[in-house]
């Protein structure tokens, strides 16, 4: 055999031996929207093949057989001073094999500290409970400091994929303007929590022989009867307050504007869109003018509580418990008026009017984003996405919301789906234990929380409330405009924030003047609209339109 052939043979054998003996290694990087991985090439007697990464299990638990450590960072709740010895993290380590290092930071300093982490490139592997804004996600993602999750979810996130299939809006809200996902959503689709609730006393209706109103005109007639007659049956026809509420409670804008054909929930300043996707400011629409005139009529005739703009919740509760309030916009009347009176009330929703015959209840998506993000220093993105994927399973959704069964929560009546949080000795209330020890933070992991479970929290009252919303409101749900979740870049976000601060104050103050009659709606309307336009509303609408178009495209 020639020396050349012998040399070649030696080199081949050497390469084979070194290839078989090498330890599998993985490295990650992000280019555009694709996470790339270098894998180990293994030589065999028959062929050369590319092996899958060997450090994690693609399915099942544990996620890793050999422990790995993720450095985490995020925002504390008001109850927390450390994440050390957190029961949720301890359980996750036991189940997955993933250890956690690092800690949270106080709410007061969180935004500044988060910015410093990115500016100094001193990043954790995983952000949780981190409150990323849309423009932060896009900025840090486009700079490569946050990892695009698209391919990771496609490869190792089956539960996340299931969530996106059931809630397409969750994927759209998680997608930045460049088409990449740098965060995952929290999905909490409990129907009772997705809309504003308005209550009317059914016992009073029955006593006066009135039907449940279905239009704005019928609502006025019912409330007028509450004022003029002895609706509460105590012998005094003058002590009833037909409609009440609290200062800053939205002043029934959702209920009445929905009836007038405008898709908004309770609020002071409302950007919304038509069914064809045209963005506009509801507060300068013809429907809003009619809302102001309707509310002014109720106020001037003392059908609407004239303390509305100065009254706090304690004052409202005191009135409600005397059985002198016919209706209110509160979370639950059995809380405000007490259980002895509270169940006399029913929800009213989906009214119509001369301007609109469409029954509508403006509702949130039940989705929020910006809680979690994986950074480019993370050496284990596959294992990390598998960890996050767990929170989109049914068990993981419960874990994210309230911790481990019989540690963070317990069944009251499993057959009925009623449960409650744990309150161990030494804690002032169950919420303190949940938000300091049994979880990292409500919503901090993102997660898909199943409505069937969350709806049963606390008591059968909570289930009753949810069942009423499902029956009376859910059939008419229309998703509200996703104003706070459009992926504005930093420049547009600053523009919007600056203009909206003054605009919101002006609109709120003008509404109070119109409703109380200090300003006449017809006489001052054009002046009001002109001022709103001069303050920059058209620029605001133009910005939101651009991003809403992209959002609708992402919805498919």
pLDDT digits (tens, 9 = 90+) for 331-361: 889 889 998 999 999 999 999 999 999 999 9
Distance separating alpha carbons of residues 167 and 171, to the nearest angstrom: 7
- Indicate the pTM of the whole model: 0.79
Domains and CATH numbers, the chain: 3-50 (no CATH), 68-190+368-454 (3.40.190.10), 199-363+478-555 (3.40.190.10)
| Range of lowest pLDDT (3-12, 63-72, 106-115) | 3-12
Q: Give the highest mean pLDDT range of 187-196, 353-362, 479-488.
A: 353-362
- Residue 465: count other Cβ atoms within 10 Å of its Cβ: 23
What pLDDT, on a 0 to 100 scale, did the predictor assign at position 177?
A: 82
Distance separating alpha carbons of residues 397 and 74, to the nearest angstrom: 19
Percent above pLDDT 70 for the chain: 90
| Higher-pLDDT residue of 8, 249 | 249
Whether the Cβ atoms of residue 71 and residue 102 lie closer than 8 Å to each other:
yes
Buried b (16+ CB within 10 A) or exposed e, 507-537: beebbebbbbeebebeebbeebbebbeebbb
Whether the Cβ atoms of residue 259 and residue 216 lie closer than 8 Å to each other:
yes
- Beta strands in 137-276, from DSSP E residues, in sequence order: 186-187, 199-201, 271-273
| Range of lowest pLDDT (88-92, 194-198, 531-535) | 194-198
What pLDDT, on a 0 to 100 scale, did the predictor assign at position 508?
A: 93
The candidate with the shortest Cα–Cα distance to 549, out of 279, 369, 283, is 279
Cα three-residue angle 36-165-367, rounded to 5 degrees: 95
Largest CA distance in the chain: 120
What pLDDT, on a 0 to 100 scale, did the predictor assign at position 51?
A: 53
Q: Which residues pair with 49 in a beta bridge?
A: 42
First to last CA, the chain: 67
Question: Per-residue pLDDT averaged across 302-315, rounded?
Answer: 92
Asked if pLDDT for residue 49 goes beyond 90, the answer is no
| Range of lowest pLDDT (152-161, 228-237, 440-449) | 440-449
Residue 545: pLDDT band by 50, 70, 90 thresholds? very high
Pair of tokens at residue 115: 């910015």
For residue 62, is the peptide bond before it cis, meaning its omega torsion is within 30 degrees of 0? Answer: yes
- Beta strands in 352-430, from DSSP E residues, in sequence order: 361-363, 367-368, 373-374, 409-413, 418-421
Whether the Cβ atoms of residue 63 and residue 387 lie closer than 8 Å to each other:
yes
Question: Per-residue pLDDT averaged across 143-160, rounded?
Answer: 98
Asked if pLDDT for residue 79 goes beyond 70, the answer is yes
Residue 4: pLDDT band by 50, 70, 90 thresholds? very low
- Close Cβ partners of 277 (under 8 Å, ≥ 6 residues apart): 548, 549, 552
Asked if pLDDT for residue 475 goes beyond 50, the answer is yes
What pLDDT, on a 0 to 100 scale, did the predictor assign at position 409?
A: 95
Name the one residue in this structure whose structure tokens are 């105590």.
Answer: 234
| Range of lowest pLDDT (39-53, 196-210, 482-496) | 39-53
Distance separating alpha carbons of residues 266 and 248, to the nearest angstrom: 10
User: DSSP string spanning 288-357?
Assistant: HHHHHHHHHHHHHTT-B-TTTTT--HHHHHHHHTTT-BSEE--S-HHHHT-HHHHTTEEE----B-SS--
Question: Per-residue pLDDT averaged across 105-122, rounded?
Answer: 93
Buried b (16+ CB within 10 A) or exposed e, 431-463: ebbbbbbbbbbbbbbbbbbbbebbbbbeeeebb
């Amino acid at each position: 055999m020639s020396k050349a052939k012998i040399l070649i043979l030696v080199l081949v054998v050497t390469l084979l031996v070194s290839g078989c003996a090498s330890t599998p290694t993985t490295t990650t990087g992000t280019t555009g929207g694709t996470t790339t991985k270098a894998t180990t090439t293994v030589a065999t007697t028959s062929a050369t093949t590319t092996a899958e990464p060997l450090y994690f299990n693609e399915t099942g638990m544990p996620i890793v057989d050999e422990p790995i450590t993720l450095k985490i960072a995020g925002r504390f709740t008001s109850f927390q001073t450390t994440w050390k010895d957190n029961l949720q993290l301890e359980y996750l380590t036991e189940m997955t094999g993933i250890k956690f290092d690092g800690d949270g930071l106080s709410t007061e300093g969180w935004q500044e500290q988060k910015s410093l982490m990115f500016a100094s490139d001193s990043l954790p592997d995983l952000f949780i409970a981190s409150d990323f804004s849309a423009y932060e996600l896009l900025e840090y993602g486009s700079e490569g400091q946050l990892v695009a999750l698209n391919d990771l979810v496609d490869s190792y996130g089956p539960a996340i994929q299931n969530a996106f299939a059931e809630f397409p809006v969750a994927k759209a809200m998680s997608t930045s303007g460049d088409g990449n996902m740098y965060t995952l959503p929290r999905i909490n689709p409990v129907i009772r929590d997705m809309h504003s609730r308005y209550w009317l006393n059914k016992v009073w209706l029955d006593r006066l022989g009135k039907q449940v109103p279905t239009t704005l005109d019928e609502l006025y007639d019912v409330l007028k009867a509450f004022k003029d007659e002895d609706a509460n049956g105590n012998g005094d026809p003058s002590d009833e307050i037909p409609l009440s509420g609290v200062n800053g409670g939205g002043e029934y804008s959702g209920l009445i504007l929905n009836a007038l054909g405008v898709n908004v929930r309770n609020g002071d300043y409302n950007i919304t869109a038509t069914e064809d996707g045209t963005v506009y400011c509801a507060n300068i629409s013809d429907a809003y003018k009619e809302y102001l005139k309707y509310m002014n009529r109720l106020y001037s005739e003392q059908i609407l509580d004239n303390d509305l703009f100065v009254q706090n919740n304690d004052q409202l509760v005191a009135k409600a418990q005397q059985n002198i309030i016919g209706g209110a916009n509160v979370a639950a009347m059995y809380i405000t008026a007490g259980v002895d009176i509270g169940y006399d009330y029913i929800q009213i929703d989906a009214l119509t009017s001369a301007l609109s015959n469409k029954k509508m209840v403006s509702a949130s998506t039940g989705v929020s984003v910006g809680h979690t993000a994986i950074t480019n220093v993370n050496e284990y993105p596959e294992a990390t996405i598998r960890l996050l994927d767990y929170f989109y399973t049914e068990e993981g959704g419960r874990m994210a919301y309230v911790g481990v069964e019989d540690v963070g929560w317990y069944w009251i009546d499993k057959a009925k789906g009623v449960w409650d949080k744990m309150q161990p000795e030494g804690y002032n209330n169950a919420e303190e234990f949940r938000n300091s020890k049994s979880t990292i933070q409500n919503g901090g992991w993102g997660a898909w929380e199943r409505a069937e479970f969350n709806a049963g929290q606390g008591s059968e009252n909570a289930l009753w409330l949810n069942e009423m919303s499902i029956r009376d409101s859910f059939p008419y749900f229309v998703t509200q405009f996703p104003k706070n979740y459009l992926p504005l870049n930093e420049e547009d976000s600053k523009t919007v924030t600056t203009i909206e601060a003054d605009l919101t104050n002006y609109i709120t103050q003008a509404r109070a003047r119109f409703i109380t009659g200090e300003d006449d709606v017809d006489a001052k309307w054009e002046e009001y609209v002109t001022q709103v336009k001069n303050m920059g509303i058209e620029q605001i609408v133009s910005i939101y339109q651009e991003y809403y178009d992209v959002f609708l495209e992402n919805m498919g």
